[in-house]
Chain A
Amino acid sequence: MASDIRIGVDIGGTFTDAVAVSSEGIRIAKVPSNPENPGQAVLAAVEALGLEEKPARFLHGTTLVTNMILERKGARTGFITSDGMRDIIHIGRHERPLTYAIQQEIPQQHYPPSPRKWRRTVPERVGASGEVIVAVDEGVVRQQSAELASEGVEAIAVGFLHSYLYPDHERKAAQWIQEEAPKIFVSTSSEVSPRFREYERFLTTVWNARVAPAAAAYLADLAREINKRWTSIQLTLMTSNGGLEEIDMATEAVFGDLRRTPIRLALSGPAAAGNAVARVSQDFDLPNLVGLDVGGTSSDIVVVRAGRLHEAPQEERKVGGYRLQIPMLDLHSIGAGGGSLVYRDEFGTLHVGPHSAGAQPGPACYGNGGTQPTVTDAAVVVGRLPSSVLLGGQMQIQSHLAHTAFARAFQTAGEGVIHAALEVLALTEANIAFAIRERTVARGLDPNELALVAAGGAGPLVACGVAETLELAEVIIPPRPGLLAAWGLLVAPDRREATLTVLKLIQEIKPGEAVNLFETAYRKLSQAPPVGAEFRQAAALRYLGQGFEVEITVVDPADLEGMALQFHEAHEHEYGFSIPHAPIEWVELRVAWEVPADQWAFPTSGGAHDETETHKLWELRPERTGALDRIPAQTEAVTVHRRTLSPGAMLNGPHIILEQDATIFVPTGWQAEVTTNGYLRIRHHER
């Protein structure tokens, strides 16, 4: 009998988390991460779950690819392109990342994923209608690839102009390269990202080739480690678009397979957390939510609108400063986390991050030799992290070290230390609020209709402050907020999607042709849709001559007039105007299927011991009712353990709620309610 156990594993910088869900219940394991051999930590976590039966599915979100891009590491990568185009990926869009600075880093120039010496051109040219102008030269392709191989290149990307319309040249070249150099990984731009705009497509393909050998090795190692426990388990990975994708590890990598296009894992980790936030949206029937996952060095922000996750706009799809043209959720990271170092510059302006104390030495209060104050130390100083807290469920806080670090860095003593720490927390909250604002308020979302889902070790510590700055409706803390990414895997849908470039006037397309286009796209999905799959079909349209599209959902592909009408309305909504009689260009279409995850929930707890204690807490509070300016005030906060709270319990701030892997701060003026499904909903009294 097949088991219904599903395991989700998330590898963090400090801990590797595993969550197992089945009809029997939920099991959780947390073990130290092993950066040298992540698979070993995964196996250790899986062992710690203590499962006998072989699980049905093994789900995983990884930061491997993210970190390779951020650290500019990977295989020795060559690039073969059309004659005359050797430097496209070096020149980029010719803009500089920083407007107001002369000295600065331009990632694709200073850290080229394929250096110029390994970028080769071959006679080849396709025109804008997909017509062959110069046939690809087999002899030159073979010669260049043999040369690259002899120079020790481990991966080769192939990118020709207009290959999104005519991929044959790239396919042929890839085949010849593979024949010349069978051990080299070869990747084509039409396989990785068949969309127009050559720089973004080529760069994405080169990065794909560069990370692929390591990604393949990682996945093989992982599969091997798990197979030590149970044989023939398939890996299912979270992709940057928020969907799960299974890899058949028993077969060779096939076209479109994640082992061939691992660049799609660039935001795998945060996308898993995004799914957990989407799940919260369903649980509470709240259409608009902001997810905030605060880790050690950074905070990830995700926005759920109309009950679902959304894709990032094309021009904002970047990782490590590199533009990547892959399906990517609208996820945003800022360099502010619990371990962010804080300092005051020579002009007296306070800074939080982007540098972090990391896992080693970590915040000063860890007692591992850190001397510079961090956000976590600020929380310790003001009493948000009482000394009874065990960080990560294991580490004792040394509050005097946090005080000393602040006193030294800010050259102050006594209350000056407290004030500095309060200011640091307020600025951290303001920075996070800025980042959220750009993704919410600035996109027309009314803050009064938004709830903030806070998770990660430090998220629940600053959530109410962030919500206050943005006047968000409420804060929601899910059960086990420190495991957000792992449980996100267990609520994420399986998904496949395919894109087809159309580039035709909608007025010139016949209904039958439109239906055929969609059928062609469905055939591109690399795996047959399973039973129970939900389908989504969309068209990206623009007025002829525009450069960006508005996407609409397509109900009936044959109803082209309906599509045109829908587009005018969407344009009016998005930009404030429409041009009813202007010709409409159909740029591309997308199809996707999705299978939702089985429903499950964390068990609710409560009724254990009612152990509480009180301790000193400093807060910033309004001077008088309704005032926006706030001053430091001292109070007594009550500390409780979350496991002792029963559904229906109400707690008035100031309260500190302790959990194994996170600490929740309920400030004065806020009230926390324990819901029937074990969440905490925290609202401001006055709203």
Chain B
Amino acid sequence: MSDELRSGDPLTGELTLQDQVIYGALTTLAREVGHRLKRAAYSSLIRESDDYGAAIVSSGFELLAEAETTPLQMGPLAGYCQGVVDTLSEYGEALDPSAVYLHNDPYRGATHSPDIGAIAPLMADGELFGFVGTAAHHVDIGAAVPGTCIIKAHDTFSEGIRLLAYPVEQGGKAIPAAWRLIDSNVRMPGLVSGDLRAQVAACRWGQRGFERILQRYGIKRLRAATARLLDAAEFQMREAIRELPDGRYSATGYLDGYEDSGEVDIKIVVTLDVRDDKMTIDLTGSAPQLDHAPINMPFQGTTDMAVLLTLRMLMLPETEFPNLPHNAGMFRPMTIVAPEGSIVNPTFPAPTIGRFCGGQMVANLVVRALQDILPERVCAGCSTTKAVTFAGQQDGESWIYMDVTEGAYGGMQGQDGHDAVDVLYANTKNNPIEDIETHYPLRVERYELREDSAGTGQWRGGYGPLRDTRILTDGFVSVEGDGFRHAPWGLKGGEDGATGGVMIFEPDEENGRLLPSKIDNMYVRAGTMIRDLCPSGGGYGPAERRPEEAHQRDIEDGLRAE
């Protein structure tokens, strides 16, 4: 044992205490970096909804440690770092250790253009150890219309300012011209550059924190420990895959698409090929990319993360593996195949800003594909998250508010689906109503579960929420959603959940009308109310097997009529 304690053991995935301490130090550092960003941020997307991430990434672009926010912002940070380095080398530039780079190119590692990364190198004795990075969703990045729910994008250039390995600080000094370019290209410069400044300051704080870790352990020890931590995570994932029966497991689903152009029911196919301790995830069969609609999912940052992070939840759930280091080692046994030119691997310059719902469908299909070989860990169909943007002018200044409403989980073995939570590869938060009403001319009039909407089953689906928001000035509304045409599926005899929807109630109108799942910057008069109906999860197992008391409780609670 004493030898193991000293060196760890690659054959058993066992880690030394010091490895664990170093992992703790890096994770704590990532969390603190994130924490500083959140507390200093302006945008409610960052400070209330946690739509940001922070991570420590190796010089080989492997995630080493991350904060505790939404996975879809943390997981991709390694890709941002690679994107920065690749961009610089493309232009024959060297990485400047004194610089902080902004980056948001979805074809070079970024998730989509509003998620801007701030990346700073971590140096050790003049050599690159890795990076500290933050990524955050910004409220406006100067696209054709206010906000970031861009529905009509011709190409990636119409999705806002493009920042490629763009230094905003060098040699400890801000670059005024760099900030001026950003300020002059976004609609809410004070807010957006305030948030970017918080990102940059958080990275700087991360660099100082890394210095302390470096002084403590020395570079040799740090490199050895991080290598072992990656190996340990890889080992655990290989063991978990090995336990699955070899074979091919497939699932197919559809995105709503665009009703006005007739490009609807976009097919996505996920096939998992399990062989020994490896897995290939093949998305062949998925629809071709849409050249002029921003529903395409960049392969790196969206498609890969939707697959890998969902597999992490299924294969190595935190509930059963509480002490597992979360790093890129666990992704090593996975190979993802996504045909170029398809919706899951579009080619430049196809627009991608609305890639989010598609990513959730990919995640949902990964879960569904495993239904027969991991029945105790999967869930029935989950509903997607939706973004609704309200925008306008007040006192001569633009205001933009993006409301991220959650979905619900499908039922699962032994447990009803979670009601009204963010799902699968996303884990953001809502914005308090009191905060929204304090900052914007909006009033949230209802925020409750959608009664009678969950898929029945032995374990029913979760109830999605209903949210009524009234705009108090003239303004604009955009919607980026999905699941209006296709309901979250039931599993193993459970029933489908309810589809989602958005309704508009004109001022002083009793009756509303339904809108499609994508709305591009629609003009609305003061007093208009938007009703957001989130889909509800599918049921798991036949409804006849639902215990009577669970059924009765739902009735008593007023969640269903009978």
* In the complex, A433 has a CB within 8 A of chain B: yes
Q: Mark A349-381, 1 if CB is under 8 A from B, else 0.
A: 101000000000000000000000000000000
Enumerate chain A residues within 8 angstroms of B219, measured Cβ to Cβ.
none
**Contact in complex: B47, A100 (CB < 8 Å):** no
Given that A198-B432, A347-B236, A576-B204 are known contacts, is A437 also in contact with B28, CB under 8 Å in the complex? yes
Rounded to whole Å, the gap between the CB of B489 and the closest CB of chain A is: 15
Residues of A within 8 A of B439 (CB): 545
Query: Do the beta carbons of B434 and A196 come within 8 Å of each other?
Result: yes
Q: Are A545 and B318 in contact (CB under 8 A)?
A: no
Whether A545 contacts B42 in the complex (CB less than 8 A), given A99-B68, A99-B318, A348-B14, comes out as yes
Identify which of residues 284-302 in chain A touch chain B, using a CB-to-CB cut-off of 8 Å. none
**B residues 1-43 touching A (CB-CB < 8 Å):** 1-2, 5-6, 9, 12-18, 20-21, 24-25, 28-29, 31-32, 36, 38-42
- Contact check, B29 vs A442: say whether CB atoms are below 8 A apart: yes
Interface contact B429-A94, CB-CB below 8 Å: yes
Residue from A88, A430, A434 within 8 A of B447 (CB atoms): A88
Known contacts A99-B71, A547-B41; is-contact A127 B437 (Cβ 8 Å): yes
Chain B residues closer than 8 Å to A547, beta-carbon distance: 39, 41-42, 44, 47-48, 435
Which residue from A99, A433, A632 sits with its C-beta under 8 Å from B21? A433
CB pair A100 B312 closer than 8 Å: yes
Shortest beta-carbon distance from A326 to chain B in Å? 17
A101, B317: Cβ atoms under 8 Å?
A: yes
Bound CA–CA A601/B556 (angstroms): 59
B40 touches which one: A348, A546, A631 (CB < 8 A)?
A546
| Bound CA–CA A548/B36 (angstroms) | 10
Q: In this assembly, does B64 line the interface, its C-beta being within 8 Å of a C-beta of chain A?
A: no
Does A416 sit at the interface, judged by CB under 8 A?
yes
CB-nearest residue of chain B to A620: B5
Q: B42 contacts which chain A residues (CB < 8 A)?
A: 543, 545-547
State A427–B20 Cα separation when bound (angstroms). 10
Alpha-carbon distance between A382 and B559 when the two chains are bound, in angstroms: 57
Instruction: Kindly state whether residue A135 has any CB partner on chain B within 8 Å.
Output: no
**Most chain A CB neighbours (cut-off 10 Å) among B204, B409, B448:** B448
When C-beta atoms are compared, the residue in chain B nearest to A98 turns out to be B318
Residues of B within 8 A of A546 (CB): 39-42, 47
A631–B13 touching, CB < 8 Å: no
A171 within 8 A of B: no
State which residues 421-437 of B face A: CB under 8 Å: 421-422, 424, 427-430, 432-435, 437
Interface-facing stretch out of B102-110, B191-199, B263-271? B191-199
- What string of 1s and 0s marks CB contacts (under 8 Å) between A409-426 and chain B? 000000010011001001
Measured between C-beta atoms, what is the minimum distance from B379 to chain A in Å? 5
Contact of B434 with A117 in the complex, beta carbons under 8 Å? no
Contact (Cβ within 8 A) A469 B21: yes
Question: In the complex, which range does the number of interface residues on chain A fall in?
Answer: 35 or more
* Residue contact A582 to B190, C-beta cutoff 8 Å: yes
Q: List, in ascending order, chain A residues with CB within 8 A of B424's CB.
A: 102
* A106 interfacial contact with B, CB 8 Å: yes
Q: Are B433 and A545 in contact (CB-based, < 8 A)?
A: no
**Hey, which chain A residues are within 8 Å of B433, CB to CB?**
85, 88, 161, 198
Q: Is B378 an interface residue, CB under 8 A from the partner?
A: yes
**CB contact under 8 A between A575 and B447, given known A91-B465, A546-B40, A548-B38:** no
Is B180 in the interface zone, CB < 8 Å from A?
no
Do residues A98 and B319 form an inter-chain contact, with CB atoms below 8 A? yes
CB-CB < 8 A to A127: which residues of B?
Answer: 437, 443
- Is A579 close to B, CB under 8 A? yes
Is there an interface contact between A103 and B377, defined as CB atoms closer than 8 Å? yes
Judge if A503 is at the interface, Cβ distance under 8 Å.
yes
Residues of B within 8 A of A96 (CB): 418, 421-422, 427
Number of A-B contacts (CB under 8 A): 231
Query: Could you tell me if B435 and A196 are in contact, using CB atoms closer than 8 angstroms?
Result: yes
Where chain A touches its partner, the secondary structure class is loop
Distance of A212 Cα from B229 Cα, bound (Å):
48
Kindly list chain B residues whose C-beta atoms are within 8 Å of the C-beta of A442: 28-29, 31-32, 209
Q: Which residue of B lies closest to A201 (CB)?
A: B434
Q: Complex formed: what's the CA distance from A197 to B236 in Å? A: 41
Bound-state Cα–Cα, A99 to B9, Å: 28
Would you give the 0/1 interface string for B207-222, flagging 1 where the beta carbon is closer than 8 Å to chain A?
0010010001000010
| A94 engages B406 (CB within 8 Å) | yes
- Whether the Cβ atoms of A349 and B14 lie closer than 8 Å is yes
Q: How many residues of B sit at the interface, in one of the four size bands?
A: 35 or more
In angstroms, Cα B47 to Cα A471, docked, is: 34
What distance in Å separates the Cβ of B211 from its nearest Cβ neighbour in chain A? 13
Contact indicator B12/A347 (Cβ below 8 Å): yes
**B430-469 vs A: 1/0 string, CB under 8 Å?**
1011110111000111111100000000000000010010
- Cβ 8 A contact of B420, one of A91, A426, A437: A91
| A84 within 8 Å of B (CB atoms) | yes
For window 376-424 of chain B, which residues contact chain A by CB distance below 8 Å?
A: 377-379, 405-406, 409, 412-415, 418-422, 424
Please judge, given known A-B contacts A95-B422, A100-B71, A116-B557, whether A86 and B434 are in contact too, CB under 8 Å.
Answer: no
Contact B432 A196, beta carbon cutoff 8 Å: yes
Q: By the criterion CB–CB under 8 Å, are A103 and B445 in contact?
A: no
Known A-B contacts A90-B419, A103-B377, A115-B557; A629 and B6 likewise in contact (beta carbons under 8 Å): yes
Q: Mark B294-316, 1 if CB is under 8 A from A, else 0.
A: 00000000000000010011101
Residue of A nearest to B236 (CB): A347
Q: Is A217 an interface residue (CB 8 A)?
A: no
User: Is the Cβ of B197 less than 8 Å from the Cβ of A545?
Assistant: no
User: Counting chain B CB atoms within 10 Å of each CB, which of A85, A86, A99, A416 scores highest?
Assistant: A99
User: In the complex the two chains form, is A102's CB within 8 Å of B412's CB?
Assistant: yes
Rounded to whole Å, the gap between the CB of A470 and the closest CB of chain B is: 9
| B530–chain A nearest beta-carbon distance, Å | 14
Q: Do the beta carbons of B318 and A101 come within 8 Å of each other?
A: yes
| A196 touches which of B47, B438, B444, B448 (Cβ 8 Å) | B438
Q: Is B506 an interface residue (CB 8 A)?
A: no
Q: Which residues of B contact A199 (CB under 8 A)?
A: 432
Knowing A100-B318, A631-B2, the reply to whether A351 touches B323 (Cβ < 8 A) is yes
CB contact under 8 A between A102 and B28, given known A90-B420, A109-B419, A577-B197? no
A151 to B351, CA, bound (A): 57
Q: In the complex, A6→B536 CA distance in Å?
A: 59
Q: Does B50 count as interface, using CB distance less than 8 angstroms? A: yes
Per-residue interface assignment for chain A, residues 95 to 127, with 1 indicating a CB less than 8 Å from any chain B CB and 0 otherwise: 110111111101001000001110000000001
Cβ of A314 to closest chain B Cβ, rounded Å:
10
Cβ-neighbour of A161 out of B18, B29, B316, B434 (below 8 A): B434
Contact partner of B194 (CB less than 8 A), chosen from A545, A574, A629, A630, is A545
- Does B179 reach chain A (CB closer than 8 Å)? no
Q: Are B2 and A632 in contact (CB under 8 A)?
A: yes
Can you list 21 contacts pairing A with B, beta carbon distance less than 8 Å? A87-B420, A90-B420, A98-B317, A98-B318, A102-B367, A102-B424, A103-B377, A116-B558, A128-B434, A197-B434, A198-B433, A347-B12, A347-B235, A349-B13, A349-B14, A426-B17, A434-B24, A545-B194, A548-B38, A548-B39, A575-B198
The 6 closest A-B pairs by CB, nearest first: A84-B446, A547-B47, A576-B201, A116-B557, A128-B437, A101-B317
A residues near B (Cβ < 8 Å) are 83-88, 90-91, 93-96, 98-104, 106, 109, 115-117, 127-128, 161-162, 164, 196-199, 347-349, 351, 416, 419-420, 423, 426-427, 430, 433-434, 437-438, 441-443, 469, 471, 503, 543, 545-548, 571, 574-577, 579, 582, 620, 628-632
Can you name 13 extra interface pairs (CB under 8 A) apart from A84-B445, A430-B21, A631-B6?
A85-B433, A85-B446, A87-B447, A91-B420, A91-B449, A100-B71, A128-B437, A198-B433, A347-B235, A548-B47, A571-B40, A576-B202, A629-B16
Where the two chains meet, the residues of B that have a C-beta atom closer than 8 Å to any C-beta of A are 1-2, 5-6, 9, 12-18, 20-21, 24-25, 28-29, 31-32, 36, 38-42, 44, 47-48, 50, 68, 70-71, 190-191, 194, 197-198, 201-202, 204-205, 209, 212, 216, 221, 235-236, 239, 309, 312-314, 316-319, 323, 326, 367, 377-379, 405-406, 409, 412-415, 418-422, 424, 427-430, 432-435, 437-439, 443-449, 465, 468, 556-559
